[in-house]
Amino acid sequence: EAGVTQFPSHSVIEKGQTVTLRCDPISGHDNLYWYRRVMGKEIKFLLHFVKESKQDESGMPNNRFLAERTGGTYSTLKVQPAELEDSGVYFCASSQDLGQYSGQFFGPGTRLTVL
């Protein structure tokens, strides 16, 4: 079974540019989460999709961040315009949560550097 995949693995952009990150969850997982870790800080929750619906977007830092999950499969996270403080590693995770909790499964992350 393929794990959670993310693309790209690294992205270097200039302040003011736009970047779109993609996440493909484990096939069949209805729950998809975005997290990020900025330098020296803990991993922080951004938002949670159940299928194509946003269940919880309380962690989204501001309106420069837009997440979508059309069709309930893969998800994209767009940052527009990017700022220096957006640099960090963006993780995607997925879970099924049928009956007994079995954890969230994380992708390898996208390392975003804003110059």
Partner 1 sequence: GQSLEQPSEVTAVEGAIVQINCTYQTSGFYGLSWYQQHDGGAPTFLSYNALDGLEETGRFSSFLSRSDSYGYLLLQELQMKDSASYFCAVRDPGAAGNKLTFGGGTRVLVKP
Q: Does 29 bind partner 1 (CB under 8 A)?
A: no
Q: Please report, for residues 4, 21, 29, 38, the alpha-carbon distance to residue 108 in angstroms, rounded to integers and kept in the order given.
A: 8, 13, 17, 15
Q: Does 63 bind partner 1 (CB under 8 A)?
A: no
Q: Which stretch binds partner 1 (CB under 8 A): 11-19, 20-28, 71-79, 87-95?
A: 87-95
CB 21 within 8 A of CB 110: yes
CB of residue 33 to partner 1, shortest distance in Å: 7
Query: How far, in Å, CA of 68 to CA of 113, rounded?
Result: 22
Task: Tell me the CA end-to-end span of the chain in Å, nearest whole number.
Answer: 37
**Candidate residues 43, 68, 78, 81; the one interacting with partner 1 per rule CB under 8 A:** 43
Residues near partner 1 (CB under 8 A) are 3-4, 31, 33, 35, 41-45, 48, 55-56, 58-59, 91, 93, 95, 97, 101-109
